[in-house]
Chains A and B, each alone.
Chain A
Amino acid sequence: MTKIMKTAGLALLLAASVCHGAEPGGPEYSGSGFLSVVAGKMLGGDAGNVGDYNCPCYVSDYAQAAIYDGRGGLQFKPDTKLGLQGSISFDDQRFSLTGQVVSRAAHNGGMDLEWLYVSYKLNSKVTLQAGRQRLPLFYYSDAQDIGVSLPWTHLPTWLYGWQAVNYNGVKMRYQDEVGGWASMFNLLAGSEHLRDSGYWKVYGNGRQSVTDVNWTNIVGGDLTLSKDWFETRMVYIQSHTQDINKNAAWDYTTLSYGPPAGAGPVAEQKIYGLTVNVNYGNWQSYNEFIYINHPGLTYKDFSQNVALGYRMGKWLPMVTWGHYRGTVVTTGVLPGAPASTPNSQATIALSLRYDLTPSSDLKLQYDDTHDASDPGFNPRYGRSRLLTFAFDMTF
């Protein structure tokens, strides 16, 4: 099915790019794209212990196994990407077919089908979508590959790093003004079956490992409200998850690959997220919090990201603090024992964006990451200091 969808998506893009325009009374074609060229240099840090990766290292995109490691010189692979999107619409744009492919340097330039879906506008306020599309876990989930849409060279790792970013399913979207608030409400359902997860390579199983990720029975929704300088978003998504390590997993005792871990348990997860954004005068603040409960498992995830910037004409300096902690829930497992926090990382990022044109920008960002995980927890990222420089554009 993935091959069929990929072929259909590429055919759509080719048709849209070649046949841009509209035929009288017929379908309308459109094509566009986005590009990010990002150079990074690791300035220093700890040796760390992240499988067979050379640390100090900084994971800029867990889902894509995009990692800056301890080699010297400039690294372009983790964040450089090119995306192409095409769409065909009919019936005065009520019905459309949209496809997007992204070529990532992190995948050695391989082209991945990000999404391929049909949209139908029931009316001016309600849109239905079906197909492969982005899983809206976070505020910037939809735009996570579009550098021009972000104030950073890469998304805050500790918040946005997760196994699945897309799903196959349906979505209903409702947009309207309610009580003076611009409102958008989404309901979604579907599943994701991801082969060779990038996440598990950089989160412990090693570069050579192959781990499939299944998210089934995905159900959820999000609500975004905005008025004047204030915007908030609330999200709830639940699913069942299962990770299946198929070939080998890194053994942190022998520091080599061991036998495959096989299939993990099918577990439930409940994701709760809250975003509060403020755009008051020249001040811009983006704040996001997420809590993930795993009933039946022994841990919970907490992550937050707080960013404050000040726009000065075409310049936007910003300071961002991101933090993740995985808390082991020992209640019921070890009665009376206190909960411990085995996994905890935090990053302070200083970023500067300059708008070259309305459709392109330059960014410079310094990330300083600290690892406060328990000594026995692996993978251990340790401390890392990274400098990245980005050029983003849309076309």
Chain B
Amino acid sequence: MLAVVFEMPGKQKTRMSFLRRQQWCHGAIFIAMLSISPGLSAEIFVVASAASPPLTLQPGQVGDLFMGKLLSLPDGRPVQLVDQPESAPLRNEFYLEAANKSAAQARAQWAKLYFTGRGIPPRVAEGSKEVKKLVNSSPNALGYIDSSALDDSVRVVCVLHKNSNRNE
């Protein structure tokens, strides 16, 4: 089955070079191939509680939050982060797209922040189902899931497109 891609006019489908982070949070719709392994859809959805105030984040802001460079959301609320398990391929893909770091680099950064009192690492969920449960437990919580887990129980605040944010 071929993937059908609907994109905003003028945007490229292939990997881009010399990207500055663009506003991909709205506008791209992707129908995933059934042959793609679960958890490896082309998009990663950053989600908040369905009951949380309306919020839109840029990919750069998502990266800064999940790397501990920012501790609060744009409206000033302190953020509570939820991570996928270390064994999940989605975790590595997320950090590469959001922050251009591997999951190991992100863990090293959080180790630095935690052991120096500058931040508490994201809470680790057991998978996308628990990610949604945890983000819904707090209006300030953010997590990330792939398209297979996306439903109406969470609010999408940013969409990351794989291989679109790796500045090369």
Query: Are A279 and B64 closer than 8 Å at their CB atoms?
Result: no
Query: Is there a chain B Cβ closer than 8 Å to A207's Cβ?
Result: no
CA distance A32 to B116 in the complex (A): 12
B100 at the interface (CB under 8 A from A): yes
Q: Interface digits, B87-131 against A, CB 8 Å rule (1 contact, 0 not)? A: 000000000000011111011110110111110100000000000
A182 to B109 CA separation, bound complex (whole angstroms): 15
- Label chain B's interface by main secondary structure: loop
Closest chain B residue to A282 by CB distance? Answer: B168
Q: Which of A141-149, A212-220, A290-298, A383-391 forms contacts with chain B?
A: A141-149
Known: A142-B112, A176-B70, A311-B102. A281 touches B168 (CB 8 A): yes
User: B-facing mask of A350-388, CB < 8 A → 1, else 0?
Assistant: 000001011101000000000000000000000000000
Total interface residues on A, CB under 8 Å, equals 45
Q: B167–A229 contact, CB under 8 A? A: yes
Q: How far is the CA of A228 from the CA of B63 in the complex (A)?
A: 9
Chain A stretch 140-166: residues in CB contact (< 8 A) with chain B: 142-143, 146, 148-149
Assembly CA distance A228 to B74 (angstroms): 17
Question: B26 contacts the other chain (Cβ, under 8 Å)?
Answer: no
The 0/1 profile, CB within 8 Å of B marked 1, for residues 278-314 of chain A is 0111100000000000000000000000000001001
How far, in Å, is A99 (CB) from chain B's closest CB? 10
* Minimum CB distance partner of A134 in chain B: B116
Binary contact track B61-91/A, C-beta < 8 Å → 1, others 0? 1001000011110101110000000100000
**Are A149 and B111 within 8 A (Cβ)?**
yes
Identify which of residues 75-101 in chain A touch chain B, using a CB-to-CB cut-off of 8 Å: 83, 85, 87, 93, 96, 98, 100
CB distance from B98 to the nearest CB of A (A): 11
Q: Which of A34, A129, A226, A281 contacts B117 (CB 8 A)?
A: A129
Complex Cα distance A83/B111, Å? 12
Residue from B107, B115, B166, B167 whose CB has the most chain A CB atoms within 10 Å: B115
Most A CB within 10 A of own CB, among B100, B116, B118: B116
State the CA gap A279–B96 with chains docked (Å).
12
Q: Once bound together, how far apart are the Cα atoms of A320 and B103, in whole Å?
A: 24
Q: A177-B74, A229-B100 are in contact. Are A184 and B69 (CB under 8 A)?
A: yes
Cβ contact within 8 Å between B78 and A143: no
Within 8 A of A (CB), among B135-159: none
- B104 and A355: CB pair below 8 A? yes
Are A361 and B104 interface neighbours, CB within 8 A? yes
- The verdict on A68 contacting chain B, using a C-beta distance below 8 Å, is no
Chain B, residue nearest A87 (CB): B117
Looking at the complex, which of A9-17, A117-125, A188-196, A322-330 is the stretch in contact with chain B? A117-125
Cα–Cα, bound, A211→B69 (Å)? 39
Given contacts A229-B100, A361-B104, contact A177 B70 (CB under 8 A): yes
A226→B64 CA distance, assembly (Å): 9
- B22-35 CB mask vs A (1 if < 8 Å, else 0) is 00000000000000
A33 to chain B, nearest CB (A): 9
Alpha-carbon distance A182/B119, docked complex (angstroms): 15
Name B64's closest neighbour in chain A (CB-CB).
A182
* A24 → chain B closest CB, angstroms: 15
| Distance in angstroms between the alpha carbons of A284 and B120 in the assembled complex | 25
Q: Does B133 contact A (CB under 8 A)?
A: no
Smallest CB separation, B131 vs chain A (Å) = 17
Given contacts A142-B115, A143-B115, 10 further A-B contacts (CB under 8 A): A83-B115, A85-B115, A123-B76, A143-B111, A148-B111, A228-B21, A281-B166, A355-B104, A358-B103, A359-B111
Which A residues are closer than 8 A to B by beta carbons? 32, 34, 83, 85, 87, 93, 96, 98, 100, 117, 119, 123-125, 129, 133-134, 142-143, 146, 148-149, 173, 175-177, 180, 182, 184, 226-229, 279-282, 311, 314, 355, 357-359, 361, 394
Residue contacts A-B, CB under 8 angstroms, 20 given: A32-B115, A34-B111, A124-B76, A129-B117, A146-B112, A149-B111, A149-B112, A175-B69, A175-B70, A175-B71, A176-B70, A180-B60, A226-B64, A228-B60, A281-B100, A357-B86, A358-B106, A359-B86, A361-B104, A394-B111
